């Protein structure tokens, strides 16, 4: 199949804290030929970063909790347990954002950083492209309330044992997709990661 698409028109239908664009387009079909003209709205989120902060020596994960507008249709669960995340601004790399957001949102200095994966979060309607990292931290003094006032952030930070974090996932206490993916990845790679980062510390 020769995969092609054609954008017939594009317009900005909303510009606020976020932007929404409206497209008229068509694309080739698996069975041959072209689709009919279709209209779709696209929520422009851009490229973002998320970081699972992990202390391999204490076997602890850094979790944050904050109010999320996207969850207000379920009022009892409008505060979501998540991991550090943020948008990539012009001139920044994904790694730059990982280090910056870890300090701003959790007061954590990353000692080692590795990419877990890169993926679209909701490609049916959002342009958001995530680079998901795991960051090695010392969790000894991590906790409290963090975030930037000028961004209206009110973020509660805590550390939990990995087993507790995984139990929270199993019990449905973690309902946001990105931390679910990150904690499941850590469950599969935790022992290997602890050995790898222990070796790095020893060599240093």
The 10s digit of each residue's pLDDT in 140-152 is 999 999 988 887 8
Supply the residues annotated as catalytic.
151
Per DSSP, the three-state class of 31 is coil
Query: Does residue 39 sit in the same domain as residue 51?
Result: no
**Mutual angle of helices 177-203 and 162-170, in 10-degree steps:** 160
Query: Does residue 31 sit in the same domain as residue 88?
Result: no
Query: Does residue 85 sit in the same domain as residue 21?
Result: no
Query: Does residue 110 sit in the same domain as residue 198?
Result: yes
Q: Which domain holds residue 61?
A: 47-203
Q: What is the CATH number of the domain that holds 190?
A: 3.90.79.10
> Which of 71, 53, 55 has the alpha carbon at shortest distance from 63?
53
Query: Does residue 71 sit in the same domain as residue 153?
Result: yes
User: How wide is the angle at C-alpha 108 spanned by C-alphas 165 and 127, nearest 5°?
Assistant: 75
Q: What is the pTM of this model?
A: 0.91
Query: Does residue 162 sit in the same domain as residue 175?
Result: yes
Residue with tokens 């020769």: 2
What local confidence, expressed as pLDDT, does residue 204 receive?
45
Query: Does residue 89 sit in the same domain as residue 176?
Result: yes
The 10s digit of each residue's pLDDT in 150-175 is 878 899 999 999 999 999 999 999 99
């Amino acid at each position: 199949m020769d995969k092609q698409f054609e954008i017939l028109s594009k317009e900005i239908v909303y510009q606020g804290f976020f932007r929404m664009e409206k497209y008229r387009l068509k694309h080739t079909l698996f069975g041959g030929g072209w689709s009919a003209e279709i209209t779709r709205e696209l929520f422009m989120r851009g490229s973002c970063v998320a970081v699972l902060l992990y202390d391999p020596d204490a076997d602890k994960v850094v979790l944050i909790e904050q109010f999320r507008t996207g969850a207000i249709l379920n009022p009892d669960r409008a505060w979501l347990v998540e991991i550090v995340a943020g948008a990539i601004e012009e001139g920044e790399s994904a790694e730059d954002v990982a280090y910056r957001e870890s300090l701003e949102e959790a007061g954590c200095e990353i000692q080692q950083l590795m990419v877990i994966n890169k993926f679209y979060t909701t490609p049916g309607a959002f342009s958001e492209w995530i680079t998901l990292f795991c960051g090695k931290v010392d969790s000894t003094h991590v906790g409290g309330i963090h975030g930037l006032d000028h961004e209206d952030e009110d973020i509660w930070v805590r550390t939990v044992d990995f087993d507790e974090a995984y139990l929270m996932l199993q019990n449905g206490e973690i309902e946001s997709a990105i931390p679910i993916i990150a904690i499941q990845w850590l469950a599969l790679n935790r022992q290997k990661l602890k050995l790898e980062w222990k070796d790095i510390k020893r060599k240093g």
